[in-house]
Amino acid sequence: MASMRTKCAFWDKCYRKNKVHLRDYIHPGDKDEKDESKDDNDVDMKDVSGAGDGQKRKVHEISDDEDEVMGSSKTKKQKTDSPAASSSTAASSLTSAAAASSSSTDLPTIKFKSKKEKCKYWLKCFRKEQKHLLEFWHPGDDIPDEVEEIVDKKTRGKAKELLNALMDGQTVEFDSGFKLKRMGDNYSCSCTSWVSSSDPIAERTCKHLMEYNGEDFEKSRITVAKPKKTVIRSHINVSLLLAHKYDEKVNDPTGWWMSEKLDGVRAFWNGNCFYSRLGNCFIAPQWFTKDLPKDLHLDGELFGGRGKFQSTVKIVKNQECDDWKKVKYHVFDAPNLEKKPFEERYSSLREFFDAESPQYAVLCEQTKCKGKEHIQEEMKKILKLHGEGLMIRQPKSKYERSRSKTLLKIKKFHDAEARVIGYKPGTGRFHNAVGALLVEMANGKQFHVGSGLTDADRRKPPKKGTIITYKFQEYTNSGTPRFPSYIGIRIDMTEPKDVILPPKPTDD
């Protein structure tokens, strides 16, 4: 009994010639089932001659396993280059705004003859579809003389402007059967390349759009549509120039460069993002960094104003905080020009700031020091403004990515007294000693002080109730000393004493 055959899904477009496929599927021109069964044994692989060079190109080879898969999986979606099938898929991919356009039915369809290109498979090509033959040259084709010389070159138009006009809602039909359509600022094509693309509608293109609109226009169109992706690493290795303390008895500042020591957050700009000394990123709003250089690294301070350290820290930890407008990036060096002397590095920075005038960045002013008295005069001015101190740089010094004596810091500390009321256990090598003293101020506020304690102090700390002297820079917003450091026991006092500082500027 003869088996029941089914109609081939590709019908007249089927190019497969193996016996198993012809036996199981009906094709146009087949004889009745009896005659067909007789002819099955005569079907074999065929070779198609090349164009005048004696070479042969194989029609195709598909295993019997593939036939079994096709026969048993009728529900699978078949890919096809059919313009009609591709067009229906493309239509479903368009945006709702594009689909709602009603003007397209009133516009005439443009007939467009595609410029043929050389088929990349050339002698090995087996495709016989009419639309493929219309789009590509093959061996044996009657190629015109004026085209023959450039058949191996791309023929897509190149122009910064749109090559061929296409109105909103209008359609272009290629002689190969594929259709282009414009919907607003978006263009679609019924070809498989455009329909199967995983890119968003606005970012898709294909060879037909390249040919009709122009290659440069298409590249520009999809580039504008693509959002710029900036990859920001959350952590990088950062090596910056760090300062030693200034010693008036040892250092002669004459001829050195002076600038104010800013009470802000140290920040390294790598052309893409801000990073702390530890390599952690500070992601600033795009409008804050848009004027900063991409090819010049910067070393500076995110500064929100004198006496506003804590509020500045809070701001720079918040990526989209509108309070970034209260902060400016004060730049004082260029790390990637490390081999050049400071004067040349500063000159390069000056050229950039003069040319670009970034809105949220400032170049720190440098003043030539005339001597120790000059240092004292500048310190008085800065402290009167509630500043932190001075930084001085050795002339003609290079940018060393470590702590260097070519950069010195000069800070003014305040001394005060507090009472010891407890201890904080030590860790690490101090695990059997005191880590910090718990002390109480005259106003009743408590804090820990560990900096300044020697190993002997940690092994045998001051007794509870003892009055100690400590130094610090300023008071925090909570009223406790910032960066307290232990000095020693105050034997001539029995009660703690606080330092009264001038009121700090407000954040408003």
Positions marked active-site: 261
Reading the block at residue 226, the tokens are 């693509």
Q: Rounded to whole angstroms, what are the CA distances from 137 to 124, 132, 143, 147, 225?
A: 13, 9, 8, 10, 34
Strands 265-269 and 274-275, bridge-based pairing: antiparallel
d(CA 90, CA 246): 72
d(CA 446, CA 153): 81
Question: Do the Cβ atoms of 437 and 486 come closer than 8 Å?
Answer: yes
Question: Pseudo-torsion of CA 81, 87, 91, 93, nearest 10°?
Answer: 10
Closest CA to 297 of 237, 337, 242: 337
Strands 367-368 and 361-363, bridge-based pairing: unpaired
d(CA 188, CA 209): 8
d(CA 60, CA 128): 12
Strands 117-118 and 25-26, bridge-based pairing: unpaired
d(CA 399, CA 242): 10
d(CA 171, CA 163): 15
DSSP 126-189: ----HHHHHHEE-TT----HHHHTTTTS------SS-SS---TT-EEEETTS-EEEEETTEEEE
Residue with tokens 């007294």: 417
Residues in the chain: 508
Question: Do the Cβ atoms of 265 and 245 come closer than 8 Å?
Answer: no
Residue with tokens 């015109």: 144
Question: Is residue 305 left, alpha or beta, with left meaning phi > 0 and alpha meaning psi from -120 to 50?
Answer: left
d(CA 434, CA 417): 20
Strand locations in 270-402, DSSP E?
Answer: 274-275, 281-282, 298-303, 328-333, 361-363, 367-368, 389-393
d(CA 124, CA 200): 34
